[in-house]
């Protein structure tokens, strides 16, 4: 699919310019790499890797924030989900490289601390840490009046996980013919909210407790759906000794920017539209916001929050294991020879024959 012209990007008009972020990251790459104590750099990967002293494991870490989804939490007066969001998001990022979480640290910055809000946020963090078998090791809570707007806050988290050196998943094993398996998201997860809020709250003028069009759920319920963790499904594949060639967490940048991060230079992912259910929230954002389908695939996860790339010979067994784990897997594409990237295909060809 041809990309939309940069100056006509709906996401950029909402205040988020992905292209500018890409250029900024490229500009600091050499500066960041100059701090490395090792020959191998993990700049640009989902998680940063560092050898664990005295063992055959590698530590993998990731830091992220909940982003402007927090504005929806403030509007709805509901703060019990965002703590789960930040833990699960970070866990998924290190999971891409095969790491399982060890401990988590959080940062909460607020104009003025409110006990009930604080308790809800931390309860969400603790719930997700328990579900991911991850210890909440510490964090920082800072009252910064004048820095944050009244009633608003920022929530950031860092996870540190570990993986055996022999079990690191880098994507280097990906080869043409491999099958791309997608695991469903719960909704927007934690990306695309600047554009979603502009469409839903500003353009459509929907209130948090109104019904979201095409659903029986409220706007707040749809837009605050918890970012899903994919740890348990991946653990099930490991236990079944399924060979995993690569994985990608579909976050900011959608399919078009995240899947290429794990592809070798000679491989292109072909994703077939229609192989999974696109949730009503994405259909509404596309139509009401007049967002091109190409940009939808770059901004949102479109109903697939995580992809796993496996050899074609292991595809059916992978699907069986993931179904048994109640992960809701779908074979959504395959790898072909070509320049690194993603091609969204509208035609319906058999994935099993690839």
- Locate the domains of the chain by residue range: 42-167, 179-345
Q: Which segments within 211-321 are labelled E, that is strand?
A: 246-249, 267-272, 304-310
Q: What integer pLDDT is reported at residue 353 of this predicted model?
A: 39
The fold adopted by the segment(s) 179-345 is Phosphoribosyl-aminoimidazole Synthetase; Chain A, domain 2 (3.90.650)
pLDDT tens digit sequence for 216-250: 999 999 999 999 999 999 999 999 999 999 999 99
Contact 25, 44 (CB under 8 A): yes
The pLDDT-based confidence of 127 (bands split at 50, 70, 90) is very high
Structure tokens at 315: 């595809």
Top-confidence residue, 151 or 10: 151
163 has a pLDDT exceeding 90: yes
Report the 10 Å Cβ neighbour count for 274. 11
Mean per-residue pLDDT, 301-315: 98
Structure tokens at 212: 């979201």
> What are the angstrom distances between the C-alpha of 117 and each of 78, 110, 131, 205, 213?
8, 11, 22, 26, 29
**Which residue's entry shows tokens 């043409």?**
176
- Per cent of the chain over pLDDT 70 is 84
41 has a pLDDT exceeding 80: no
319 has a pLDDT exceeding 70: yes
Mean per-residue pLDDT, 114-119: 86
pTM of the entire predicted model: 0.84
CA 234 to CA 322: how far, in whole Å?
8
**Which residue's entry shows tokens 């596309």?**
286
Dihedral sign, CA of 99, 185, 89, 246? positive
User: How many Cα atoms occupy the beta-carbon half-sphere of 296 within 13 Å?
Assistant: 20
The closest alpha carbon to 302, from 337, 323, 330, belongs to 330
5 has a pLDDT exceeding 60: no
By CB atoms closer than 10 A (0-12, 13-18, 19+), residue 41 is middle
Mean per-residue pLDDT, 69-83: 95
259 has a pLDDT exceeding 50: yes
CA 335 to CA 312: how far, in whole Å?
10
CA 342 to CA 134: how far, in whole Å?
33
pLDDT tens digit sequence for 272-282: 999 999 999 99
Mean per-residue pLDDT, 316-331: 98
Structure tokens at 168: 């690191």
Any idea what the Cα angle at residue 90 is, between residues 86 and 93, rounded to 5°? 145
φ and ψ of 256, to 5 deg: -70, -30
Quick one: 42-167 is in which CATH superfamily?
PurM-like, N-terminal domain (3.30.1330.10)
352 has a pLDDT exceeding 50: no
């Amino acid at each position: 699919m041809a990309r939309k012209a940069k100056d006509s990007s709906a996401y950029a008009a909402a205040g988020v310019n992905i292209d500018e972020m890409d250029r900024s990251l490229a500009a600091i790459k050499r500066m960041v790499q100059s701090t490395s104590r090792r020959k191998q750099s993990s700049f640009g990967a989902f998680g940063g890797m560092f050898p664990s002293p005295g063992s055959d494991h590698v530590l993998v870490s990731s830091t992220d924030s909940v982003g402007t989804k927090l504005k929806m939490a403030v509007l709805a007066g509901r703060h019990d989900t965002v703590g789960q969001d930040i833990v699960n998001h970070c866990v998924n990022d290190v999971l891409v490289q095969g790491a399982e979480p060890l401990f988590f640290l959080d940062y909460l910055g607020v104009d003025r601390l409110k006990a009930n809000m604080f308790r809800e946020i931390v309860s969400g963090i603790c719930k997700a840490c328990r579900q991911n078998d991850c210890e909440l090791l510490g964090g920082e809570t800072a009252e910064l009046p004048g820095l944050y707007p009244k009633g608003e806050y920022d929530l950031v988290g860092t996870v540190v996980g570990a993986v055996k050196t022999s079990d690191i998943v880098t994507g280097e094993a990906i080869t043409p013919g491999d099958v791309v398996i997608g695991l469903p998201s719960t909704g927007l997860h934690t990306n695309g909210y600047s554009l979603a809020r502009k469409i839903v709250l500003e353009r459509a003028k929907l209130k948090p407790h109104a019904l979201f069009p095409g659903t029986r759920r409220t706007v707040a319920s749809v837009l605050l759906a918890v970012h899903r963790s994919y740890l348990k499904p991946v653990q099930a594949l490991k236990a079944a000794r399924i060979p995993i060639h690569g994985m990608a967490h579909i976050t900011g940048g959608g399919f078009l920017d995240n899947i290429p991060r794990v592809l070798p230079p000679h491989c292109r992912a072909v994703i077939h539209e229609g192989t999974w259910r696109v949730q009503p929230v994405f259909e509404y954002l596309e139509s009401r916001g007049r967002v091109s389908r190409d940009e939808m695939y770059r901004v949102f996860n479109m109903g697939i929050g995580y992809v796993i790339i496996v050899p074609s010979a292991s595809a059916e067994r992978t699907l069986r294991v993931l179904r048994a784990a109640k992960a809701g897997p779908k074979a959504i594409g395959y790898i072909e020879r070509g320049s690194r990237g993603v091609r969204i295909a509208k035609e319906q060809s058999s994935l099993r024959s690839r």
